[in-house]
Structures are given as structure tokens and as C-alpha cells.
Amino acid sequence: MNPSRQSLAALCGALFVMLLVVADPVRGEEVKLLDGKVRLELPGSWKHDRESSKQALASFAARKGDAWGSIVRGSKGLQPDGLTAYTQRKVAEYTKGLSWLPNLTWLKKDVVTIDGRPWADLRFIGRKDGAKDPLDGLLYTHILATSFEGQLLEFTFTSNTDPDRATKLAIDDILKSVKVAQ
């Protein structure tokens, strides 16, 4: 092969690899917030809404289906020892507010430790009648909250009316990817 063809072949190969990395729908993007102290991995099936509301640090949406997420920061203070009370308040708030939702099922409502940091981990769904799979329903919501620099840091993702199990699993994967600097 002559040198110009080798260069062209190498260039085409490099461009192909770059396209795979940039446009890979599975890989998605790493989202960094608060000077890189808060990070999460967004799969390619989700997009980062760069024009978030003033209340949210960041907003997200599924590229197809009816699912969204947001990250908010509190302003009234929250210390790690306040996460149990926060969890109880949120469970009561959502249970009352969603009393219209048939078969509201709490899948998790605990304070857990992730990477040495305490988190409130809340998950609920409006299960379908007779559902055998706990994720068979609507309005799957996963909330992960912690104390960060003395303030609430809350991640909320919901499938809304999206019945797709894969959407619910993607929500859990997004929240599993959350990293917060100590």
C-alpha cells in the first residue's frame, strides 16, 4: 500500500473510532456538578437538559418514553443525622400526596451507606393489579438524598407513565453511578 493510502486508511480508522466514542448511545455522558464534586453517569438513552429550572442544579429526560430526573440542593441545612427524619417526612409526604394512586408500593425507604456517606434511599411504584414483577407499574420513582456541605442534595428520577422495565432499571443505574466527593 502506498504511503498516501496508508495515511488515508489510518485517518478513516481514527475517525471511525472517534465516532464510536462520541456517538455511542450506550455510553452516554458523565455529568459533573458543583465544581466536579458531584458526578453521575447518564446512559445514552437519557439526555442532560442544559436549561434546567432555577430550582434544579440539573435536569434530565429519557430520549424516548415519559421519564425524567432532577438534582436539587436545599438551603435550610441538613446534617447526616437528619436523614432519618428526612426519610420519614418524604415517605409521609409522598404517601399522602399520592393517595389517588392505586397500589402505591414502597420498594425501599431506608437510610443506607454508599461509599462511606449516609443516604436516604426511597423507591416507590404504582403497581399494576396482579403484578408479579415489583417494577410492573407506573410512576416508578427513586430518590437518593444526602447531606452535602451541610445542605440537602437530592436526586429524583421517575418513570412517570413509561411502563418499560428498562427505563426503571436505567433510573437505578443512573443513581448507582452517583459519586460525591467527601
The per-residue pLDDT for range 90-111, each reduced to its tens digit, is 999 999 999 999 899 999 999 9
Mean of all residue pLDDT scores within the chain: 86
Helices and strands, counts by H and E, the chain: 3, 10
pLDDT of amino acid 1 = 57
pLDDT at residue 106, rounded to an integer: 97
pLDDT at res. 15:
35
Q: Does domain 25-180 have CATH number 3.90.245.10?
A: no
Task: Give 99's DSSP letter.
Answer: T
At 16-61, the pLDDT tens digits run 333 333 334 456 899 999 999 999 999 999 999 877 667 899 999 9
What's the 3-state SS for 17-79?
HHHHHHHCCCCCEEEEECCCCEEEEECCCEEEECCCCCCEEEEEEECCCCCEEEEEECCCCCC
Q: Are 151 and 77 in contact (CB under 8 A)?
A: yes
- Extract the C-alpha cell encoding 53: 429550572
Sheet strand arrangement including 104-114 = 46-49, 56-62, 68-73, 151-158, 137-148, 117-127, 104-114
Q: Is the pLDDT of residue 83 over 50?
A: yes
Domain map of the chain by residue range?
25-180
